[in-house]
Amino acid sequence: MIIAVVSQKGGVGKSALSRFLAVEFAKSGWSVKIADLDTGQGSSTNWKARRDQNAIKPEVPVEKYATVSRAVQDAERYELMILDGPAFAEKRGLQMAEYADLVVIPTSYSLDDLQPQVETAQHLEVAGIDPEKIKFIFCKADGSDTEEASARSYLKRAGMNVLKNLMPERASIRHASNNGQSASEVPHRTVRERIIPLAVEIANIIIPKIPDIEEPQVHTTIEPTRETACATH
């Protein structure tokens, strides 16, 4: 399986989302790898170095890739490959989406992020990407219920699919990242309880795409792995 994290905007939580998903699926026993396609900045690669330095488990492989096609070739060796794409890379974003089983687009509540991210999704749809494969996720979400409702309404009017769960903006999450941890590895239970359902929601989307899986039930954990099914890539 391949999840592409696509963005035309920097600073919307793209790499943080990639790392969070990788850790949660790895904790559930999946073999996971992050393809860091932002070879200039390498945020996920640098995070991996901090994680290794602090000997944090589970181990999550991260590698820089100069091309999408090379990352996709390596995806055959893993149950889940997460493509952490660069910002402002329209052509590469389309390539990622073409190979992906799921395309996620992170955004905040701000129109400064919402507008260009909607344009990204519209570009993908015009290029032939199935709109049902594209899901918006609120990341670095820090605001009132009214702000969230307004942002959801904006995306709904634009015809976009938005996930119910989100990734909040918290100082503890930033601190965890500095230590090589994901957003779900913070010490505060309330933060973990809010963010982990996002991984479960995504699991419920991608697991039915795995061949030979009948009526998958994913409520409090993420499963199955290749022990019970073959991956699509």
CA distance linking residue 21 with residue 27, whole number of Å: 10
Spatial separation of the C-alpha atoms in residues 170 and 52, rounded to whole Å: 23
Mean pLDDT of the region 26-38:
96
Assess whether pLDDT exceeds 60 at residue 229.
no
Which structural domain range is residue 45 located in?
2-232
Q: Please tell me the total count of domains within the chain.
A: 1
Residue 225 in this model has a pLDDT that exceeds 80: no
**Longest CA–CA separation in the chain, Å:** 46
- What are the tens digits of pLDDT across the range 54-76? 999 999 999 999 999 999 999 99
Confidence band of 216 (pLDDT split at 50, 70, 90): very low
Alpha carbon distance 76, 107 (integer Å): 29
Examine the pLDDT at 221 and tell me if it is beyond 80.
Answer: no
Q: What is the CATH number of the domain that holds 168?
A: 3.40.50.300
- Chain segment 125-147, per-residue pLDDT in tens: 999 999 999 999 999 888 899 99
Contacts 24+ apart (CB under 8 A), 71-74: 71/35, 71/37, 72/2, 72/99, 72/233, 74/33, 74/35
